Amino acid sequence: MNNENLTDILLAAILVSSTYDKDQPVIKWGGLVVAVGAVVSVLFA
């Protein structure tokens, strides 16, 4: 899998996590932080 495909998948994960309403906000924000960090590492690696 190349970086372009991985970036698309991670950006979709960010979109889902930012729009998905969870009862526990730590799950939502934790997933968002991990996805953003992964996108940054893919773009600059």
Q: For residue range 6-32, what is the model confidence (pLDDT) as tens digits? A: 777 777 777 777 777 666 677 677 777
CA distance 25 to 2: 32
Q: Is a pLDDT exceeding 70 seen at residue 2?
A: no
Does the global pTM surpass 0.95? no
Rounded Cα distance between 31 and 22, Å, is 11
- pLDDT value of position 22: 64
- pLDDT at residue number 15: 77
Q: Are 7 and 42 contacting, i.e. CB atoms less than 8 angstroms apart?
A: yes
Task: Using only the alpha carbons of the chain, give its radius of gyration.
Answer: 11
